[in-house]
Amino acid sequence: MSKAPDAVKPVSRLGVVAGASVGTVFEWYDFYLYGSLALFITEHFFSGVNATTGYIFALLAFAAGFAVRPFGALVFGRLGDLWGRKNTFLVTMLLMGLSTFVVGLLPGYAQIGAAAPIALIVMRLVQGLALGGEYGGAATYVAEHAPEGKRGLYTSWIQVTATMGLFLSLIVIIAVRTSIGEPAFRAWGWRVPFLVSILLLGVSLWIRLRLNESPVFQKMVDEGKTSKSPLTESFARWPNLKLVLLALAGLTAGQAVVWYTGQFYALFFLEKMLKVDGLVTNNLVAVALLLGMPFFVVFGWLSDKVGRKPIIMAGCALAVLTYFPIFKALTAAANPQLAAATASSPVTVVADPAGCAFQFDPVGKKTFASSCDLAKSALANAGVSYSNQAAPKGAVAVVRIGTTDFQSFDGEALAPKDLAARKTAWTKELGAHLAAAGYPAKADPGAMNKPLVVGLLWVLMFYVTMVYGPIAAALVEMFPARIRYTSMSLPYHIGNGWFGGFLPTTAFAMVAATGNIYFGLWYPVIIAAITVVVGVLFVREMRGRPIDE
């Protein structure tokens, strides 16, 4: 076994970790801005469709960046195994930074119509492709510099950077919102965090340009052992393809849904479903992130002692067992009036099932004007959870609030102008009925148990650190050096790009379809449960495996 990694002085290793980590903070900062500002992006780029469809579109545009991440993993993973770790993640950083900066300059739907969301999605695709090549490069680069017995500890700093990127994005958003006020932020201030990223790009490029190539990769180059066809070796030969599939189903899929539930879904569950003020939400999440970040390193270090697999499996299992009670407790702590009203005066939509549509219109041209659709749309936009009860065929839908019935109306025969006026008046009257039953229009900050909210968010964050802290070391150790960048990047980005990245969209659509604000949690719970089963039964513990072979 080569001693290449041990030839690097400890101070040099520290510089390697710092250089890779600082660059990755910037990349994740860019990517997270979009998720944190989804509500504002909905207003400016998807205003041509109804509110529910617009929000789902905004989440889909967010998910589009994740959809192409596996393709970025293939393109840049191959380059990383052919061209070198350092050179490849310099390119990914440059693409990421420029596309993020451009988002801050794009005109909205009011200025250029349908071209606005198209341009936004193109920028998201460029971001996703670049990020698809970033993680594998940074994780491989750090692991190949780490001393024996400390790979989990060293690579855990890469895991910290993802959350640090989200934390930094929240801090910048909070600073801008506080300094210019909410009206200005809603109108134009949301662009500032995107534009500021150009400064971070310059600093990060300077840091990464100072790094040397990985000693493991350099040794392969010197000995002529680099792969000539990394894609073929990684995915067309069963022994390695089997490892790729096991890494996906038994590690990264569960890690991804736990990660995105704890750091993204919790954020817009508070803001969208519990109606907590956006600035308050950002502050609460930022505090929880800050308190949780050290545990990435704790679990990375612990994985060097007890193994990667037991910690990741434990995090997924805890998520499966506790997500529903945690999110219900979050509702009671963040919006106790909503929780009390839901318990004392549950809402039921009594309607003919044939008149209830799945309210997602890809082209934004359909009008959902049946009595059932109008009732469900108004309740979803009000953040009110409801159950469904079948009514006789052709009956006009009724919103039952506790024991009080409030009839909807059929707007399908009305002209658009008349429908809009009638809907506005009816929605206002529905709001009065909900208020009389104790349903708040917004969460009351004074009634909120903020320490408990932060505590619950921290628990979700704790699960994130368990599954994410050891994952880089686990993936690096699964694959041979000559095809490592390519092989580990694909399962990581399918897991995090598809299973994780589509979580907000899928969960919100599930909630909108059923009326149950907790129903979307079934998505991460089922995926995490599958990972526990596959991981426990089929994934081998690879801790301590030589990585220069």
The pLDDT tens digits for 180-213 are 998 999 899 999 999 998 888 888 788 777 777 6
Mean pLDDT of 516-529: 95
430: three-class secondary structure by DSSP = helix
Mean pLDDT of 71-95: 78
pLDDT at position 483: 84
**547 band by pLDDT with thresholds 50, 70 and 90:** confident
* Percent of the chain whose predicted confidence (pLDDT) is above 70: 89
Residues 401, 432: Cα–Cα separation, whole Å: 11
What is the distance in angstroms between the CA of the first residue and the CA of the last residue of the chain?
A: 8
Least confident segment among 21-25, 100-104, 283-287: 21-25
How does DSSP assign 259-300, residue by residue? HHIIIIIHHHIIIIIS---HHHHHHHHHHHHHHHTHHHHHHH
Whether pLDDT at 6 is above 50? no
Cβ proximity of 193 and 309 under 8 Å: no
> Per the structure block, which two tokens stand in for 141?
């680069």
Q: Label the pairing between strands 347-351 and 386-390.
A: parallel
Least confident segment among 17-31, 194-208, 510-524: 17-31
pLDDT at position 55: 65
Residue scoring higher pLDDT (205 or 317): 317
Residue scoring higher pLDDT (268 or 172): 172
Cβ proximity of 160 and 21 under 8 Å: yes
pLDDT in tens, 138-156: 787 788 778 888 999 988 9
Whether pLDDT at 272 is above 80? yes
Alpha helices in 438-496 (DSSP H): 450-468, 471-478, 484-494
Q: Which residues lie closer than 8 Å to 72 by C-beta, 6 or more apart? A: 92, 128, 129, 130, 131, 132, 133, 493
How does DSSP assign 364-401, residue by residue? S-----SHHHHHHHHHHHTT--EEEEE--TTPPPEEEE
**54 band by pLDDT with thresholds 50, 70 and 90:** low
Whether pLDDT at 359 is above 70? no
Residue scoring higher pLDDT (82 or 237): 237
pLDDT at position 515: 84
345: three-class secondary structure by DSSP = coil
> Per the structure block, which two tokens stand in for 435?
């208020």
pLDDT at position 2: 39
Among 513, 461, 472, which Cα is nearest to 495's? Answer: 472
Could you tell me where the beta strands, DSSP code E, fall in 272-425? 347-351, 386-390, 398-401, 404-407
pLDDT in tens, 398-438: 999 999 999 999 998 888 889 889 999 999 999 999 999 99
Chain-centre distance for alpha carbon 2: 39
Mean pLDDT of 297-306: 96
* Percent of the chain whose predicted confidence (pLDDT) is above 90: 41
Residues 112, 40: Cα–Cα separation, whole Å: 17
Greatest Cα pair distance, the chain, in angstroms, is: 79
406: three-class secondary structure by DSSP = strand
> Per the structure block, which two tokens stand in for 242?
């089997």
Whether pLDDT at 35 is above 60? yes
**Mean pLDDT (the chain, rounded):** 85
Does the predicted TM-score (pTM) go above 0.95? no
Residue scoring higher pLDDT (528 or 100): 528
Domains of the chain by start residue, with CATH: 5-335+445-538 (1.20.1250.20), 340-436 (3.40.30)
pLDDT at position 508: 78
Residues 90, 93: Cα–Cα separation, whole Å: 5
Least confident segment among 139-148, 238-247, 256-265: 139-148
> Per the structure block, which two tokens stand in for 295?
């545990």
Least confident segment among 27-36, 90-99, 332-341: 27-36
